[in-house]
Structure 1
Amino acid sequence: MSTDWDVAVVGAGTAGLAAARVAAERGLRVVAYERMSPGGQLVNLTVLHDHPGGTGPELVSALTAAAEGAGVRLSCAEVTRVHPGTPARLETADGEVAAGAVVIAAGLSAGRLGLPGEEALVGRGISTCAGCDGPLFRGRPVAVVGDDEWTAEEALELAGYASAVTVLVPGEPRWSAARAARLAADERVEVVTGAAVTALRGEGVLSGVVVRTADGERELAVAGVFPFVNRRGPEGLVAGLAADADGRLVPEDGVLVAGDARAGAEQSLTAAEADGRAAGEAAVAALAAGAGSLRVVDPTYGVLPEDDAGPVEATGSTATWRDVALFTNSKPNATELLRGLGARLQAHWELPELGFAAKDSASVPADPDQIDWLSQRFKMVLVAVGD
């Protein structure tokens, strides 16, 4: 199986960065794709109430540094389609790439009300980021539309800027009791259940919304509306993969999905991070299961024929002979032995590439940069030493 990457992660938010780091720490070649910049919607959060990571940008910085430190390559190329298989194929803005395993951690789309004239008012009163646009509504009334944890958190953040925050819940709230208590304790926040926004008011700039409740319709004068309804998962991104009613993907047939993009996922940072780690471990296990076994031979007596002693299983290893490098301490007999072994391996397994490196002198320590190169480029390094 020829691949550009061992693991490709689509989405570099909390779940995606966690999955990528775990796989890279196991020695795999990992790329994480994010169309804009790492962090996803996490970069828009100021205070994190369900994660000990400080602010959103601080957590993004820590997750990104950990992933890159483990060897993850970050790419801003947009992934437009994923085709499962062995290997999987990804259509990206930079061309098609192949990967041994793919983790989908693309999160959810921005919220939308689905009303006429809505798109023209985006950025002119309609926003989906309290951390970004909250200060623009300082001292003015706003409305937040939704029923989940994200809705409640954005409403609480907006309460620090706006004169009043009306939370319009289409049905009944789905947020936690702890968030419900915080909303109730803030005198600037009002929660209205069974409320549907039926129309937008304003010419060029939002001036209000029409709200329908069990008591009838009324107009609510607000300077801003923050919709968190109709946030969709990445339905259609993976060819042939089923999705739930909200467009969130249902993992199956070896396709790994992590974070908010996964059907049934809990919407919290801690849950997303744990989900990402689990997906990374699953990717490692999947590649290990498909890696086959390694045959150990004694170069003194030549390569054993296929019908001779059976292969020796390399428990827990994901190495293939295409990813083998040779390293010697520069002693002549060790170098000769290793080059002979390498030549036999390359001929027997028809390897297109076989890495080779040696210390400048047997009496000096190995160059750390050289060791780093070997560990990052190759999955297995055969070492020979001699006196």
Structure 2
Amino acid sequence: MSTDWDIAVVGAGVAGLAAARVAAEAGLRVVAFDRMAPGGQLVNLTSVHDHPRPGEVAESAGLVSRLVADAEAAGVVMAFDEVTRVRSGTPARLETGEGAVTAGAVVVATGLGAGRLGLPGEEQLVGRGISTCAGCDGPLFRGRPVAVVGDDEWTAEEALELAEVASAVTVLVPGEPRWNADRARRLAAAERVEVLTGASVTTLRGEGLLAGVVVATPGGSRELAVDGLFPYVGRRGPGGLVEEVPADDAGRLRADGVRTAAGTVLVAGDARSGAVQSVTAAVAEGTAAGRAAVAVLRTAAGSAPADEPPVAGLRTAAGPGLRIVDPTFGVPADEAEGAVAVGGGADWTEVALFSNSKPNATELLRGVGGRLQEHWALPELGFASKPNASAAADKDVIDWLSQRYKMVLVAVGD
């Protein structure tokens, strides 16, 4: 199959960059499309809370730089262009502003669009009091009152960032908050933040410049004089981008894990229906999608790619104390110490390691894997692990291992 790219990633945010990096590390030709700068929503934040672990804080600019650098170091090509349509197939076809390109597999990681209230006069006030980026426009409202509309983690984080510059921040929650306990605690502790539940904006005030809003609350209608309004409701996913993939009511693509109904199209991050909106989750999903995309290509090829001819299986005696059995051939009748299986079809260059994330097990496994890689002169040694020792192994990771590798060494316990 001749294609422009092995794998194309639509969106260069956290999930997209993770997917692209993983695919490129597998030796594939990978392009990541984004109509603006890479980094996604992270470029709008000063810091990221609960990353890389709960309770920790990461500086967003540094995180974006590392994600981009890692992807480019792996060989990912960044393309600053907008993808307007994806048609699955073998190969998949992407329509862009620069023309059509083809790819063996596509990962959709566009995230969500800007928040909108759907009220009369809203578009005319965008950039004139209405914004969806606290990091970008927050300083314009220093010492002035603003309102934030939404109920999710992103809403809470933006409100907390605005509280550092605005004179007052009113958080209007249409129903009940969905942010976590830590953000609820931080909002409650912020002196200039007020949270109103069951509140929704019904009218925008101002001619050419926002002057206030009318808010419907359980206690009745209320006028709120604000100079800035940051809506995080009505954010839409990329529904319609891929004709063969259905979307939910918010335009997020439906999928089983990261796999969609279109076999050559994967989805990761906030673009996926039911996604958890966090940086940590986006990295994990992007990684899974990248591995799944690699598996799609390997499965479609039926063997190693044409430019990577299979290496003959191991046919020599092992070193002292190392007994090798080819699983595709079976255990030989001769059970003598040091017996070596011959024949079979396993490609002994395709070896991977899988750890349960316990440090001792991972260290032991990498040590054994390094010895095997040196002994067999393996050009590549795959590695995967569970997110933590107590979590179940990710199905897409297991699928990737089973489809890409012929031997998987597993380390469990302490």
Q: TM-score normalised to the size of structure 2?
A: 0.71
Provide structure 1 residue ranges, at least 5 long, that are not aligned to the other structure: 299-309, 318-387
1:20 partner SS: helix
Contact 2:150/2:174 (<8 A) preserved: yes
Whole-angstrom distance in 1 between the partners of 2:231 and 2:303: 53
Counterpart residue type for residue 3 of structure 1: T
Q: 2: CA distance between counterparts of 1:38 and 1:57?
A: 11
> Equivalences for 1:97-176 in 2 at 5 Å?
97-176=101-180
- Asked whether the equivalents of residues 16 and 276 of structure 1 are also in contact (C-alpha less than 8 Å), the reply is yes
When Rg is computed on C-alpha atoms for both structures, the one with the higher figure is: 1
Equivalent position SS for 2:48: coil
Whether 1:25 and 2:21 are equivalent positions in the alignment is no
1:184-333 matches, cutoff 5 A: 184-250=188-254, 251-254=260-263, 255-293=265-303, 314=347
| Matching residue's letter, 2:249 | A
Distance in structure 1 (CA, Å) of the matches to 2:63 and 2:310: 45
User: Using the alignment, how far apart are the partners of 2:105 and 2:303 within structure 1?
Assistant: 19
Runs of 5+ consecutive residues of structure 2 not aligned to the other structure: 255-259, 313-342, 351-414
Query: Who is 2:315 aligned against?
Result: none
Q: 2:401 is matched with which residue? A: none
Conserved 8 A contact 2:115-2:231: yes
Aligned-pair Cα RMSD in Å: 1.9
* Closer, same or farther: CA 311–33 of 1 in aligned 2, 3 Å: farther
Contact 1:293–1:311 at 8 Å: present in 2 too? no
> How far off its partner does 1:55 sit?
2.1
1:10 corresponding residue in structure 2: 10
1:50 Cα offset (Å): 2.2
- How far the C-alpha of 1:192 sits from its partner, in A, is 0.3
- Does the 8 Å contact 2:130/2:229 carry over to 1? yes
Q: 1:89 to 1:184 in 2, by over 3 A?
A: same
Instruction: Give the Å deviation of 1:47.
Output: 1.2
Distance 1:297 1:246 in 2: 48
The one-letter code of the counterpart of 1:292 is: G
Q: Contact 2:202 / 2:213 at 8 angstroms: preserved in 1?
A: yes
Distance in 1 of aligned mates of 2:310 and 2:189: 68
Q: Verify the 8 A CA contact 2:244 2:261 in the aligned structure 1.
A: no
Is 1:45–2:55 an aligned residue pair?
no
Deviation of the 1:54 alpha carbon: 2.9
Match in the other structure for 1:72: 76
Q: Residue type of the partner of 2:175?
A: G
In structure 2, distance between residues paired with 1:99 and 1:114: 37
Distance 1:39 1:165 in 2: 27
Aligned to 1:322: none
Alignment check: 8 A CA contact 2:310 2:347 kept:
no
Are 1:90 and 2:94 counterparts?
Answer: yes
What is the identity percentage for the equivalent residue pairs of Structure 1 and Structure 2? 72
The residue type paired with residue 253 of structure 1 is A
How far is the alpha carbon of 1:121 from its aligned partner? 0.6
Q: Is the 8 Å Cα contact of residues 244 and 262 (structure 2) preserved in structure 1? A: no
SS at match of 1:3: coil
1:296 deviation in Å?
A: 7.2
Contact 1:38 1:64 in 2 (8 A): yes
Q: How does 1:295-374 map to 2 (within 5 A)?
A: 314=347
Asked if structure 1 preserves the Cα contact closer than 8 Å seen for 2:311 and 2:347, the reply is no
Q: CA shift at 1:313, angstroms?
A: 6.1
Aligned mates of 2:289, 2:78 — CA distance in 1: 18
**Structure-2 change in CA distance of 1:136 and 1:249 (3 Å):** same
CA distance change for structure 1 residues 237 and 314 in 2, over 3 Å: closer, same or farther?
Answer: farther
Per-residue deviation, 1:218: 1.3
Taking structure 1 as reference, are residues 316 and 216 closer, same or farther at Cα in structure 2, changes over 3 Å only? farther
* In structure 1, C-alpha distance between the alignment counterparts of 2:286 and 2:116, rounded to whole Å: 27
TM-score computed with the length of structure 1 as normaliser: 0.76
Q: CA deviation at 1:189?
A: 0.6
Partner letter of residue 46 of structure 2? T
SS of match in other structure, 1:249: coil
